[in-house]
Amino acid sequence: MWVLLQSAPGGYGVALFQSLLALAAVCVLAWVVLRWSARRGLGGAGRRVQVLERVPLDARRAVYLVRIGERVLLLGGGDGAAPSVLAELTPDELPEVEDPASFGELVARLRGKTPPAADDS
């Protein structure tokens, strides 16, 4: 075995190449495992609990709107503290959310022009 180790090409370049090759193999393996587990529903979004919206208040605190079955909760969370229930809402109390504006509409608003009206047909 000692003869095999001595006859193999050596140097820092070969060691660097082997390390990069091993790192690439580990990254590809991690990507494949994560994709496979996401398709199987492992570790992904839950069926019964949905985070509808998250609004950051500052760098350490945020407010979450969470749906659990038919219940909708407004939760406050922060650094190192357990989330606290701020309010419980009924689904009827939630306002309708408009679709986000298209990129063209946003540019038109920034330029101070009104976008052309959409056809109602």
Q: How confident is the model at residue 38 (pLDDT cuts 50, 70, 90)?
A: confident
Q: Phi, psi (5° rounding) for residue 61?
A: -130, 150
Residues 68, 71, 74, 77, CA torsion sign: negative
What's the pLDDT at 1?
45
Structure confidence by residue, pLDDT tens digits, 47-75: 778 888 888 888 888 888 888 888 889 89
> 37 pLDDT exceeds 50?
yes
What's the pLDDT at 100?
64
Mean model confidence pLDDT for the chain? 78
CB 61 within 8 A of CB 45: no
Could you tell me the residue ranges of all domains in the chain?
Answer: 2-39, 49-93
For tokens 């909760």, name the residue. Answer: 73
Question: In this predicted model, which residue has the larger pLDDT, 23 or 112?
Answer: 23
CA–CA distance from 12 to each of 3, 5, 6, 18, 81 (Å)? 20, 15, 15, 10, 48
> What number is the average pLDDT over the span 23-43?
86
> 112 pLDDT exceeds 80?
no
Entry pTM: 0.46
What's the pLDDT at 22?
97
> 114 pLDDT exceeds 70?
no
